Structure 1
Amino acid sequence: MTMATHREETDSLGVVRVPADRYWGAQTGRALENFPIGTERMPLPLIHALGVQKQAAARANVALGDLDSGLGDAIETAAREVADGRLDDHFPLPVWQSGSGTQTNMNANEVIANRANERLGQPLGTRAPVHPNDHVNRAQSSNDTIPTVMHLATLLEMRDRLLPALDHLHAVLRERAAAFGDRVKSGRTHLQDAVPVTLRQEFEGYAAQVAGATARLRRLTDDLLPLAQGGTAVGSGLNCPPGFVERFLEEVRALTGLPVTRTPDHFAANASHDVFVDLSGALGGAAAAFSKIAGDIRFMGSGPRCGIGELALPANEPGSSIMPGKVNPTQVEALLMVCAQVVGNHGAVMHGAAGGQMELNTYKPVIIHNVLTSIRLLGDAARSFADRCVAGLAPVDARLEDLSGRSLMLVTALAPVVGYDRAAEAAHKAAKEDTTLRDAVLSLGLLDAADYDRVVDPAVLARGGLSASGR
């Protein structure tokens, strides 16, 4: 006897055929037919957060006496499987759906109800004894559930993925700065020669940029702690019993360790997502910082013989299909592309957050898709860049010494001794004749060799002091 490939389930509009081995039901099946758009599925961190949210709701409903404990236990067990990622294949819906994310909320309700009924010995599609709306979605609406899981998913991804990766990149940059020590190099402003700096100073500056970006992101995560749950459809809390929100929050804290709180205004929580604009902007700020750091390292590693060539970058893979032996700064390039994507994502988040009408913002899926994508990309790229590029950077000492010694901007140390105009004369002479500044100064008779070497000490200049110049 041939096994049936499909079963029939119903929703308020009628019958829908569903693959026999899938836990989703009629509303999910109908959404698959109605939204054949793109390949971007709702992000898994959001799905896993839905599992947490449904667990907490089931516990709260049982505690309040609004849900039979046997049904509640079955719902909680199934929801835990969603939270743990064991049912990922049963969440097929695209980002491009209802702006409230209603289809994804119902996807979760159907999957959890069918899985709970299966555990209770019932065939899939029975909608009994556990009903997706009456039991799994009890005291909830998509309009407060989806904002709640948007916050939860972002908080968890920030805590578990992005912030640890940024801390790791910061630590690797600090380690490299210490390892480079006080190696002097030519500073550069406007991509032109400037007074000396050290590699340590440059890399400590990069580490400070990462630390600043990380601190801003950590501060913004606090703004995600208030949750929308309890506002139901429009923010009024219709069909949400007294005590539900408080018990729900207790359960979320127990399940996640996050110190979540109740939103101060349910109407604003359903209708606006301003916090995601702020967070996405901070993610864009981190991308700007990473672009600067990666770009600097690419410049300093350019060559290796016909560029700046002050740093040797790790040779991770062959760089050319036609030029044997070529090695490219691929980790830098990957990070720069990630940064470009994150900046673009921010534009979509701003547009979506500005698009709410009345009691509901209807850009929720695209907002959270872009925020979670940016978090994932920045976290992964920061860790890869730290491990596969920064950790393997090596100074090219001969090149550092050659370029810093040839820099004409060492003339800055001469100005307090011989005057700005005579110092400029020496710099112009050295540039025109392609000699060192030292040769020009001696040729003009501005200082003798001993005085020049005492006044123009690149190591001292890099520390911000003037060497024996009698300032």
Structure 2
Amino acid sequence: MATSADFRIEHDLLGDREVPADVYYGVHTLRAIENFPITGTTIAIYPDLVRALAFVKQAAAHANHELGLLDAQRCDAIVRACDEILAGRLHDQFVVDVIQGGAGTSSNMNANEVIANRALELLGHAKGEYRHLHPNEHVNIGQSTNDVYPSALKIATWFGIQGLVEAMEVLRRSFAAKALEFKDVLKMGRTQLQDAVPMTLGQEFSTYAVMIEEDQARLREAALLICEINMGATAIGTGITAHPDYAPLVLKHLQRITGIPLMTAPNLIEATQDCGAFVQLSGVLKRVAVKLSKVCNDLRLLSSGPRAGLNEINLPPMQAGSSIMPGKVNPVIPEVVNQVAFEVIGNDVTVTFAAEAGQLQLNAFEPIIAHSLFKSVAHLRSASLTLAARCVDGITANAEHLRGLVANSIGIVTALNPYIGYANATAVAQEAHASGGSVYDIVLAKGLLTREQLDRILRPEVLTQPVPLAQP
């Protein structure tokens, strides 16, 4: 290895290259930096992925040492280098672009080179002195990008899902607290944006809590699907160059150091080419996004106004809403969550096409699948926490306005159907709409029910839940 104060010379298939002397990555990573100037965003933006690669390399070192393929000294150095990465060090050395050709080979080699060069330092050698410990010959024993990279993606995604589920729990609790706070606030429900029948604001907010809880359950189910890994598959799933006992050993160590209930796929050839688990997870993330966006649409509608809209609830004011209209405040938090949802839906389309485009024994497009999934998970997590803390927790109800809307609504005539009949109720509704009068007064004037009967039938607890029909 030739060196100078500023660089070292490294060699690969294509020849010699100068690598900056102070960096931990090597020639393969250097070429990837040059080949893929796509987004300007490196894989270091996803710390879970960097840590997942370190988990895989550490487990592989342990397994290969047990098999007698890696001596104790090199194994210890690799394990210690991985421990540093797991602790958050050296992440700035993971510099390949998130979108890259080569089915993730550049990410795998970036990890191999960083780990090898840090391990060399721990052994008392200089970076690049690969005759003592080599990125391929030692860090990558019994491995291929084609089993390392998808396994690392699944490990990283597992941790991301746990964080998203926790964030959604914060949001679920916020909606549940508001459901309790608003349990006695009577309002009109709407279908197709038209007056329907009465409900409580608490019932309305409780549905949002339930919707989020359902999606938490779907995410946990999807997480179980990504526990199946293909370590030991090497290039295409046949396990060429790997020891026959390597797959169960590396699985044992990965389970131990990650705490994830991982399992080896029963057919490694299938597992190496199939991206179905990523498609399934992306679909669940899209479901989360669609439902969160629907909730935010509701919040924007219910808070519209304050004078010319529904004005049923007040969202906490976060910032001035206009550079020209004084006093205007916009629903900026629901709006930003809507935009996250739109992005996640688009990411799902990307994952779908990338998974479909796989050919024969490998899918070359897992980098864009990873980028899309990690963005969706991270942004949904941030959006959930932001929506809870900066919007839902501060929502207040315009209770008097809501009561007035119920009293003046034609929709309450539905509650009278069992007592005055559908035909009479229709006539009352038509007259109320034409005259602007109240259902209550028109029923009295027509002599269809007495005031006492109306008061008993139109009690809030009767209007908002199933009750046995009684004689009027």
Q: Which amino acid aligns with 2:51?
A: H
CA pair 99-209 structure 1, distance change in 2 beyond 3 A:
farther
- Greater shift, 316-325 or 393-402, is seen at 316-325
**Which one of the candidate residues 307, 313, 331 is aligned to 1:311?**
313
> Where does residue 99 of structure 2 map in the other structure?
96
> Where does residue 145 of structure 2 map in the other structure?
142
> Where does residue 173 of structure 1 map in the other structure?
175
CA distance in 2, matches of 1:191, 1:27: 59
> Where does residue 379 of structure 2 map in the other structure?
377
CA distance in 1, matches of 2:300, 2:469: 32
- State the Cα distance separating 1:468 from its structure 2 match: 4.5
Instruction: Report 1:249-268 matches (<5 A).
Output: 249-268=251-270
Q: Is the 8 A contact 1:460 1:467 kept in 2?
A: no
**Which one of the candidate residues 312, 330, 333 is aligned to 1:331?**
333
- State the Cα distance separating 1:150 from its structure 2 match: 1.0
SS of the equivalent of 2:98 reads coil
**Which one of the candidate residues 350, 354, 357 is aligned to 1:355?**
357
Pairing 1:51–2:54 present = yes
SS of the equivalent of 1:10 reads strand
* TM-score, length basis structure 2: 0.96
Q: Between Structure 1 and Structure 2, how many residues are aligned?
A: 467
Structure 2 gaps of 5+ residues are none
CA distance in 1, matches of 2:185, 2:105: 59
Q: Is the 8 A contact 1:32 1:93 kept in 2?
A: yes
> Where does residue 423 of structure 1 map in the other structure?
425
CA distance in 2, matches of 1:142, 1:444: 81
> Where does residue 303 of structure 2 map in the other structure?
301
* TM-score, length basis structure 1: 0.96
Q: Is the 8 A contact 1:196 1:459 kept in 2?
A: no
> Where does residue 366 of structure 1 map in the other structure?
368
- State the Cα distance separating 1:469 from its structure 2 match: 4.8
SS of the equivalent of 1:188 reads strand
CA distance in 2, matches of 1:332, 1:270: 40
CA distance in 1, matches of 2:456, 2:185: 19
Deviations 1:264-313 (A, max 9, x none): 11111111110111110011011111111111111111112221111111
- Greater shift, 232-241 or 196-205, is seen at 196-205
- State the Cα distance separating 1:6 from its structure 2 match: 2.6
Pairing 1:81–2:46 present = no
- State the Cα distance separating 1:466 from its structure 2 match: 6.9
SS of the equivalent of 2:177 reads helix
Deviations 1:204-244 (A, max 9, x none): 11111111111011011111111110000010001110221
> Where does residue 135 of structure 2 map in the other structure?
132
Pairing 1:21–2:22 present = yes
CA distance in 1, matches of 2:402, 2:467: 20
Q: Which amino acid aligns with 2:88?
A: G
SS of the equivalent of 1:194 reads strand
Q: Is the 8 A contact 2:99 2:371 kept in 1?
A: no
Q: Which amino acid aligns with 2:198?
A: P
SS of the equivalent of 1:414 reads helix
Deviations 1:86-144 (A, max 9, x none): 11111111122224100110011011111111122212122131100000000100011
Instruction: Report 1:33-52 matches (<5 A).
Output: 33-42=34-43, 43-52=46-55
- State the Cα distance separating 1:391 from its structure 2 match: 1.1
Q: Is the 8 A contact 1:410 1:458 kept in 2?
A: no
> Where does residue 6 of structure 2 map in the other structure?
5
CA RMSD in angstroms, aligned pairs only: 1.5
Structure 1 gaps of 5+ residues are none
Instruction: Report 1:376-395 matches (<5 A).
Output: 376-395=378-397
